[in-house]
Amino acid sequence: MLLGRLFGFGAAPMVVAVVPLLVLPVASRIEGPAGWAAVGTGQALGSLCAMICSYGWNVAGGARVALASDDAARREIYANSFWSRLIVFGVVGAVLATLAGILVEPGFTAVAALVVLATGLSGLGMAWYAVGTGRARLVVQYEAIPIAVFTAASAVVMQLTGALIAFPLMLIVGTAGGLVALNLHLYKRVLPPFRPRDVRASFRRNLSIASADGIGGSYTTAPVPLAQGLVGTQAAAELTSADKFYRIGLTAILVMGNTLQKWVLEASWQEDRARRHAIALLAHLGVGIIGLLVLVIAGPAVATWLLGAEVAPSPALFPAYGVTFLIISLTTPLIRNVLVPADRSRTVLVATVLSAGVGLPAMTVCGLLGGATTIVWGLALSEVVVLAIVGTTAAREVRARHREGRAE
């Protein structure tokens, strides 16, 4: 059964991760380093937009849906999440799209702004809902397939027209189309029911987790925009190339987290939840080590071959990305499977605030003194702070709950 979940919940994210490999070689070459840096800056700020407008649902939503009493309650949870996220997206997307247009070189303002919106729309995604219901096909039908089809089609359009802007435009159509199709499936209407009181309640309930996501996004997405602003377009283009491989790799962590979350949480403490926590942590450790090795050993050569020598990243970028990948893989099950279900979201917020307070200044100083290569080490330092706080708190929580379970 666990292998079935791994295949089901792994198929959709892997499709979404692999299809861009068809697009990236086209996008990186079509308008040179300036266009590629605009895409990278837009995707970085768009990722921040997605983290903010997801409003904590990617972290907390799966557990809430899994614990809901029936399908009607699950659909109500999703409806409230949809409207709260859409409202945030409308505000934050406009601000970050404007910022992206200011940062990039003249002539690429529209591209950067639309990439922000296209990437930010992923914050309205529904993978967490599918995880909570245990129905992987929802992700395949309403997220993976529409995004994959339109992303792949954008490569063809870019080749035929030479227009880089086709990439974000078609990604917006694919993402929005999948969301509308899911709403039609769940509610028989384009938009879910809007209940102002329930939406306001979801805003309040998710505030701590959403704050952690937003603050976390401020440093996890910072390297490329900082390189663009502090070092220059060429440095931002090269960092974009390394960052793409790192973020594609993060899909493996998402797959493992989605696969194991319900399996861990469905066991009681009286049974073997502590053992399942340990297995999940070991699985994430394995994913983290493999990801680190792949990034360091294969990353530079593959990036140069796929994206072209003009925007090839320095091999010195990949060790820092590899360490960051390993740490994120370790913190994922601690947050999703231990702290959030135990209502310890405030701990996650504190860890994230402190990591941003350490990481953003570190990345800025590194960028000014050492160039783009050292910026990523500031990112790794941020994740060390998160792991130290989250790890110690989660260990205490598991020990305490395990003792209570045995006493009962």
Distance, in Å, from the CA atom of 179 to the CA atom of 122, rounded to the nearest integer, reads 10
| Token reading at 131 | 């995880």
- 3-state SS, residue 392: helix
| Token reading at 14 | 């892997």
Alpha helices in 54-188 (DSSP H): 57-67, 71-103, 109-120, 127-133, 136-139, 145-161, 166-187
Distance, in Å, from the CA atom of 295 to the CA atom of 40, rounded to the nearest integer, reads 18
Distance, in Å, from the CA atom of 284 to the CA atom of 255, rounded to the nearest integer, reads 10
Q: What is the pLDDT of residue 347?
A: 86
Distance, in Å, from the CA atom of 146 to the CA atom of 45, rounded to the nearest integer, reads 23
Q: What is the pLDDT of residue 83?
A: 93
Distance, in Å, from the CA atom of 151 to the CA atom of 341, rounded to the nearest integer, reads 35
pLDDT means per 10 residues in the chain (408 residues)?
52 60 79 87 89 84 78 88 92 94 90 94 86 79 87 89 91 93 92 89 82 77 86 86 87 82 73 82 94 94 86 91 96 87 82 89 90 90 93 87 64
CB neighbours of residue 156 within 10 Å: 14
Q: What is the pLDDT of residue 33?
A: 87
Q: 350 and 405 in contact (C-beta within 8 Å)?
A: no
- H or E segment at 2? helix 2-18
* CA 95, chain centre distance (Å): 20
Of 391, 376, 359, which is closest to residue 322 (Cα–Cα)? 376
pTM: 0.75
Q: What is the pLDDT of residue 288?
A: 95
Rg (CA), the chain: 20
